[in-house]
Structure 1
């Protein structure tokens, strides 16, 4: 039988000690990062060492053999599911869009204050009531003065609400400009991803596994997905390309190069972008055809109809004829200066108390202008409700996608504690094996040849 070194068992035991120690080290790393955002659970991949080749004659039958030499750590693997990442980022984009839209439309609803005592509906109702009062007392100066005050409150309310709509659109445009600027989060993340691409590629080329760097890059991609659609292409060397917002070119990140925009940055952020907060902000900003632009146009149509119908029934301008939009609607200056000029009749030589004009204007209640405004309120309410529904649905779906990903990548302290005990027991067993081999060698080296053994 071919001889085997007496020290072979020491080497085998040492490999076992080192492998179990590596497992304990990885377990400690997992436990330390259990609450670290974006961290992926790691495992030490163990593989048996290729056996020691024993020449022919090593076995009793005369054949050769491979004698197992223990275990080695072949890799420190990162638990990650690429498909789960794609699902999570797609849902993050949808949720970012819905959440941003809901926030803006909630502000619009609060400003609208319908139904409420200070909303335009209440002011419009008081306006028609004031005309009814004038028709009942057409010769009373105080009633006409009250009508002028009520009319002014209505036009002030319409202009104020239009200003609040404009502010929502302006704020959305301002936030969009900040996000997409050279110092905004998108391009900052792109620069960081490009830098990590270089570091990851260099580490892989040197034969190292940059798990923590990969986690950092994935976390940046997760953050980007909140702002718009993210498409990742693997370049096989550890580096990636990142397309953003459904735009194939230019790339947001191409290997170690981040996109450097020249103002305006419309080539990467078209209107509207594909999903995310950017898409919502573009729709909400004051762009033609956007949500807020549509609201203001409907409010303009209501204001114009109110002005034209009342002025036509009044016979002379009651509202300023130059104010045909929600932003410019106003009571005629002459009416405000002298409310007694408010007409109550068109009859020539009308007897005292004639009120055909006042009755005609009062009868406009529930007419075309009121219906336009009611339709506008209904649209705002329905779109706000739909946005809230989409936000709730997307939040639930995002949480589900996050849970599915965490089931693969997340750290379970119970599992890590079980692993810790398992590696501890393995380490103890390897140490015991080494001690046994050491005792055998001690007998062989120090006691061989002594009388009495």
Structure 2
């Protein structure tokens, strides 16, 4: 049984525990709208004095001030966030590529009408060959054909330039992403040191530092596939592919090598060893894939049809190679037919080097190295469409206009004409875009769902905290009343004994 004077200490301990609870509740209320802040709670413990035959309660003590947090939900959130970020990049790039494909169209000068899509540009080009075959000596038809050819080359090359820029943006994003990852890792390591010191001092401040660290880890999960291990001292180890990026207060540095070209692809490596980092998710992985130009190159025009496939790592590279194949094959077939013809001046079509020529003669004909022959642009009479040498003969123009029906293309092993090949190309990008959009929507929904579950566990509720405040307030007042009552009893006892309480 406790003495009268020991009751003072018991009452005081109750006031102390309630005050700690009020302080924690006050901090929760202050951070009710702070992003990433976790609810904290006080764990009170009994103070017990053990005697030989019994134990006596001697009040309450504050055991700890801890966050309410579910580490399994945190781990699940980061895993799903990694995938959501990956598909966000993929979806964004494919949407942009589809927009580009629809933007490049053609305008019919005669009717002042415009159509969108490269297919219309190709069709207008071959239609003008058909019109020229009907009146081979018509200067207006020849000028219209040159205009259509320039439009064809311009649209293809401009689209390829846009795709090249998109690919360069992916390269830059890899470097920016790795820089951000290194910076976040340094911040996590600094917080690890602070948390370790706080935990050692048992001052309770580590809970708020841990919130800051968790917010950084969430950001890191959007960049790459991280795994987080919490240690007994409160610090964490952050791994990428089984290799530590953050280990307590220490970090390792990631670096990017290569320029993104076919000969020098981008690689993410550990700066100290040069070993490749196993980046298997997040936005960095998506940008690495889209920056990859493996599978893009000049086609061998001597062995047409070119064996085109849609299995490149990068969707940008896949589209660029498809467009290169389409334009280069059309140009090669047109040049081949015209080389056997005669122009209006009686010269052989082969004398000027073809309807389409290279800009840089040292490189192969391709979407990045093609133009309408300047000699033809300056003199439309040099378009050699006569098979007999007679001015009114448009046999070769007719043959060129029918190139759209020839199976000069191969896509994933299937023989196709130009219309079918273009349809296969647009179908592929549509399917890839739909798949990326579906995956992104699914992953985003999962991230939102898991984050909602996290908030249910660790989020701060205004109603709950107000209720806790009333409970702690009443408990504090009750302990204070006990202390006051004991004081009155002691004062009465002293007075009865003839003493004076000063």
Output the TM-score relative to the length of structure 2.
Answer: 0.81
Alignment partner of 1:405 is 2:454 = yes
- SS of the equivalent of 1:346 reads coil
Match of 2:189 among 191, 194, 197: 194
Alignment partner of 1:238 is 2:234 = yes
Alignment partner of 1:218 is 2:267 = no
Q: Which residue in the other structure is 2:287 paired with?
A: 281
Match of 2:253 among 238, 249, 260: 260
Match of 1:425 among 474, 477, 492: 474
**What is the Cα deviation at residue 343 of structure 1?**
2.6
Question: Which segments of 5 or more consecutive residues in structure 2 lack a partner in the other structure?
Answer: 106-114, 258-266, 295-312, 341-348, 407-416
Change (3 A) 1:4 1:262: closer
Change (3 A) 1:326 1:257: same
Q: Which residue in the other structure is 1:46 paired with?
A: 44
Do the aligned residues in 1 keep the contact of 2:104 with 2:159 (CA within 8 Å)? no
**What is the Cα deviation at residue 444 of structure 1?**
1.2
Q: Which residue in the other structure is 2:489 paired with?
A: 440
The range that moved more, 114-123 or 326-335, is 114-123
Q: Which residue in the other structure is 2:110 paired with?
A: none
Q: Which residue in the other structure is 2:330 paired with?
A: 306
Larger RCO of the pair (alpha carbons < 8 Å, separation 6+): 1
**What is the Cα deviation at residue 125 of structure 1?**
1.6
Change (3 A) 1:235 1:66: closer
The separation in 2 between residues aligned to 1:256 and 1:43, in whole angstroms, is: 27
Q: Which residue in the other structure is 1:93 paired with?
A: 82
- SS of the equivalent of 1:226 reads helix
RMSD: 2.2
Change (3 A) 1:272 1:163: farther
Q: Which residue in the other structure is 2:398 paired with?
A: 359
The separation in 2 between residues aligned to 1:342 and 1:167, in whole angstroms, is: 35
The separation in 2 between residues aligned to 1:83 and 1:257, in whole angstroms, is: 25
- SS of the equivalent of 1:43 reads strand
- SS of the equivalent of 1:390 reads helix
Do the aligned residues in 2 keep the contact of 1:96 with 1:277 (CA within 8 Å)? yes
Alignment partner of 1:248 is 2:254 = no
Q: Which residue in the other structure is 2:93 paired with?
A: 104
Alignment partner of 1:128 is 2:167 = no
The separation in 1 between residues aligned to 2:191 and 2:140, in whole angstroms, is: 76
Matches within 5 A, 1:10-25: 10-25=8-23
- SS of the equivalent of 1:252 reads strand
**What is the Cα deviation at residue 353 of structure 1?**
3.2
Do the aligned residues in 1 keep the contact of 2:189 with 2:247 (CA within 8 Å)? yes
Do the aligned residues in 2 keep the contact of 1:242 with 1:254 (CA within 8 Å)? yes
Question: Which segments of 5 or more consecutive residues in structure 1 lack a partner in the other structure?
Answer: 56-63
Do the aligned residues in 2 keep the contact of 1:300 with 1:325 (CA within 8 Å)? yes
**What is the Cα deviation at residue 270 of structure 1?**
4.6
**What is the Cα deviation at residue 214 of structure 1?**
1.4
Do the aligned residues in 1 keep the contact of 2:256 with 2:269 (CA within 8 Å)? no
The range that moved more, 201-210 or 300-309, is 201-210
The separation in 2 between residues aligned to 1:67 and 1:234, in whole angstroms, is: 38
CA deviations on 1:31-54 (whole Å, 9 max, x unpaired) are: 11112222111000011111463x
The separation in 1 between residues aligned to 2:452 and 2:161, in whole angstroms, is: 43
**What is the Cα deviation at residue 261 of structure 1?**
4.7
- SS of the equivalent of 2:234 reads coil
**What is the Cα deviation at residue 447 of structure 1?**
2.5
- SS of the equivalent of 1:354 reads coil
The separation in 1 between residues aligned to 2:283 and 2:131, in whole angstroms, is: 50
Change (3 A) 1:262 1:227: closer
**What is the Cα deviation at residue 384 of structure 1?**
2.0
Output the TM-score relative to the length of structure 1.
Answer: 0.89
CA deviations on 1:5-42 (whole Å, 9 max, x unpaired) are: 21122211111111111111100111111122221110
The separation in 1 between residues aligned to 2:464 and 2:57, in whole angstroms, is: 30
CA deviations on 1:113-154 (whole Å, 9 max, x unpaired) are: 169524322211211121111122122121111101111111
The separation in 2 between residues aligned to 1:96 and 1:13, in whole angstroms, is: 55
Do the aligned residues in 2 keep the contact of 1:303 with 1:324 (CA within 8 Å)? no
CA deviations on 1:163-221 (whole Å, 9 max, x unpaired) are: 000000001111211222xxx22111111111122222222233344111111111111
Alignment partner of 1:347 is 2:388 = yes
The separation in 1 between residues aligned to 2:193 and 2:462, in whole angstroms, is: 33
**What is the Cα deviation at residue 70 of structure 1?**
1.9
Match of 2:72 among 80, 83, 89: 83
Q: Which residue in the other structure is 1:157 paired with?
A: 155
The separation in 2 between residues aligned to 1:294 and 1:276, in whole angstroms, is: 21
The separation in 1 between residues aligned to 2:365 and 2:317, in whole angstroms, is: 17
Q: Which residue in the other structure is 1:295 paired with?
A: 319
Q: Which residue in the other structure is 1:58 paired with?
A: none
Do the aligned residues in 2 keep the contact of 1:172 with 1:285 (CA within 8 Å)? yes
Matches within 5 A, 1:30-69: 30-51=28-49, 53=51, 64-69=53-58
Match of 1:375 among 424, 441, 444: 424
Do the aligned residues in 2 keep the contact of 1:305 with 1:369 (CA within 8 Å)? no
The separation in 2 between residues aligned to 1:170 and 1:271, in whole angstroms, is: 21
The separation in 2 between residues aligned to 1:271 and 1:438, in whole angstroms, is: 70
